[in-house]
Structure formats: structure tokens, C-alpha cells
Structure 1
Amino acid sequence: MTDSPTLLDDAPEIERGTITEPKVEKPRLYKVILLNDDYTPRDFVTMVLCAVFRIPTDTAHRLMMTAHRMGSCVVTVATREIAEEKAKEGTDLAKSEGFPLMFTTEPEE
């Protein structure tokens, strides 16, 4: 054998018996918020909630009434991409039927 340098000569030493797991950061979550308006029929709001967010009718009705009384309510919490997609889908569905119903998103605290 020769005493010539090898690739392993410059490699950092690895401590045996320890495995370092990479830290995976959880994605930030966003709220999808239903905004109340005085023009969109309640039944239509309930239908949009059921269709876009796949929630049962009684839950959708409860959310709609909360937004009606309070001015807005959180419909769901999801990753940013999904929250923005659902908010746009709900707003676009209402707009296609001529209603001003709106959904927005904001970071969850």
C-alpha cells in the first residue's frame, strides 16, 4: 500500500452511534374567512360552503349565520396554497352567479 492521500483523508469525522434528523419546518397555516354581505342569499352562501369546502349542510348553515351575525367567520385553516385556492374558488363561484360574496385569507397566529 502507498501513503498517498485519499478522498477520505479530507472527509469530516463522523461520530458513531448518532443520527441527526434534519429539522423539517411545518408550513405556516392560513385561515379562510367568509365575509358577510347584504346581497348574497343565505341559501347560496350555504351551497358555496358545501360545494367548495366539502362541509355538511348543517355546519355550512352555522358558519353562514356566524358570518351574518359577526360580519365574518373562519371557514377552515390550511396551508397557504390551499387556503388561497379555496378562497378564490368560493369567490369566483359567487361572482359567476352575480353575487358579491367574498372569501379572504390571513395567516393563523
Structure 2
Amino acid sequence: MTDNAIKLTNRVRPATRRPRLHKVILLNDDYTPREFVVTVLKSVFRINADQAQRIMVTAHQKGTCVVAVYTSEIAETRANAATDAGRQAGYPLTFTTEPDQ
């Protein structure tokens, strides 16, 4: 008789975690024109005009508004791009990020 033993091995799969998400937040200011805010929201965050208008109005009324939720790198990149667009146009338009619960 020959020994043809089958050897079983356990494969350990590494536990993958979902990346932590961050919120991009629009801060209201009294100087940036509303139309410019809508334009930046549409171009940087790729949202339609109706959504951009609602976000802008919410930020205007409440002081801040969550624009979108992304992974941390994408959130930082988009917030910086939107803030830079405001600065280049001479406005104090500001977007920030914070971790999502």
C-alpha cells in the first residue's frame, strides 16, 4: 500500500477593513456669491444644479452643510480643490473635512 495522504492546509484570509469615511463640509460666509458657490459645487463635487442649490441654501441658513462623504484622501482633495477655486476667484469660500461617525 502506498501512502497517498492528502494534506489539508488552512488558508487564512487577511481581515480587510473598510476605509474610514470623512465628510466634506461647506462653511457659510457673507462674501462669496451664491452663484459662485453653486458653480464650484457642480464642478468639483460633480452634483447637479438642484442639489448644489439646496446645499448652498442649507449652508447659508444653518452656517454649515455636509456636501458629500468620501474616503479621507478623496475628501481632503476635493475640499482643497473647492477652497482653492474660491481663493483664486478672490472669495473666502471654505470647505473642511471631518471624520464621519
TM-score, normalisation: structure 1: 0.83
Larger radius of gyration: 1
Counterpart of 1:63 (choices 48, 55, 64) is 55
What residue is the counterpart of 2:13 in the other structure?
Answer: 21
Distance (Å, rounded) in 1 between the aligned partners of 2:58 and 2:83? 18
**RMSD between aligned alpha carbons?**
1.2
What residue is the counterpart of 2:89 in the other structure?
Answer: 97
Matched residues, number: 95
The one-letter amino acid of 1:69's match is Q
Unaligned runs of 5+ in 2: 1-6
What residue is the counterpart of 1:52 in the other structure?
Answer: 44
Q: Runs of at least 4 residues of structure 1 off by over 3 A?
A: none
Identical-pair percentage: 55
Unaligned runs of 5+ in 1: 1-14
The one-letter amino acid of 1:67's match is A
